[in-house]
């Protein structure tokens, strides 16, 4: 029920201003009052809806949504607005991840530096094997670790957002059958630069990674 309503709101099938009534939702989904209430609370937590007595549950304007919520991102990537969502999210990555890599080169612990090198090596191995699912797991871990190693907890909390973008590209067939060798090499360059404490190199390599992703998606949707 939550997914169905969330996808409908995220896709615009239930546009801002639409009023949802609890009784109608219960009947539509064959749900109890308790279940309907919990679903509405979930939508309100993401700021997709607001509730008022004698009015009902009203869909909020898109500017008020919590666009960083991983569930909302997943719903947007599953809908017809996938292209716009991917562009917006990748632009966010372009703004954040290069700076995170720079900071990681200055602040990462020896353990984090070693783990980044290990993830980069695993990415190379799984790319050659064309094992996209395993590659995705290592890629998510790599980018999460860069955000965490930046030492900025606000960057670290964007890890789920980045994970949804990476998973969405793979899940919707927007990745090449074999990851681009250049992209894999850039991940190794990021890991090496962070391990060597070279912030300029780390920032430049990470920027190249996210810009390449942006260019690849532009080609797919043109």
Q: Which domains does the chain show, CATH number per domain?
A: 2-64 (1.10.10.10), 82-221 (1.20.120.530)
SS3 at position 64: helix
What is the model's pLDDT at position 220? 64
Q: What pTM did the predictor assign? A: 0.89
The residues, any chain, with a CB within 8 Å of residue 193's CB and separated by 6 or more, are 101, 105, 199, 201, 202, 205
What is the model's pLDDT at position 152? 97
The closest of 48, 52, 80, 49 to 67, measured between CA atoms, is: 48
In the chain (222 residues long), the average pLDDT of successive 10-residue segments reads: 95 95 92 94 96 90 95 90 88 96 98 97 93 93 98 96 89 76 95 98 97 79 62
Q: Residues 194, 149: contact at Cβ < 8 Å?
A: yes
The closest of 80, 47, 74, 88 to 160, measured between CA atoms, is: 74
What is the model's pLDDT at position 64? 97
């Amino acid at each position: 029920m939550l997914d169905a309503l969330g996808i409908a709101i995220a896709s615009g099938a239930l546009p801002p201003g639409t009023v949802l009534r609890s009784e109608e939702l219960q009947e539509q989904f064959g749900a109890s009052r308790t279940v309907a209430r919990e679903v509405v609370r979930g939508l309100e937590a993401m700021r997709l809806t607001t509730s008022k007595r004698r009015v009902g549950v009203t869909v909020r304007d898109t500017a008020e949504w919590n666009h960083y919520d991983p569930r909302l991102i997943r719903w947007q990537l599953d809908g017809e607005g996938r292209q716009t969502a991917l562009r917006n999210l990748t632009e966010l990555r372009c703004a954040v991840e290069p700076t995170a890599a720079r900071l990681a080169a200055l602040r990462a612990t020896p353990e984090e530096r070693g783990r980044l090198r290990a993830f980069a090596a695993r990415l190379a191995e799984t790319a050659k094997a064309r094992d996209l699912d395993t590659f995705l797991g290592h890629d998510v871990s790599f980018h999460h670790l860069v955000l965490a190693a930046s030492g900025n907890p606000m960057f670290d909390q964007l890890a789920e957002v980045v994970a949804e973008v990476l998973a969405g590209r793979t899940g919707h067939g927007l990745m090449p059958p074999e990851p681009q060798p250049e992209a894999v090499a850039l991940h190794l360059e990021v890991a090496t630069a962070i391990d060597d404490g070279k912030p300029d190199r780390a920032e430049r390599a990470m920027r190249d990674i996210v810009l390449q992703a942006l260019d690849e998606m532009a080609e797919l949707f043109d």
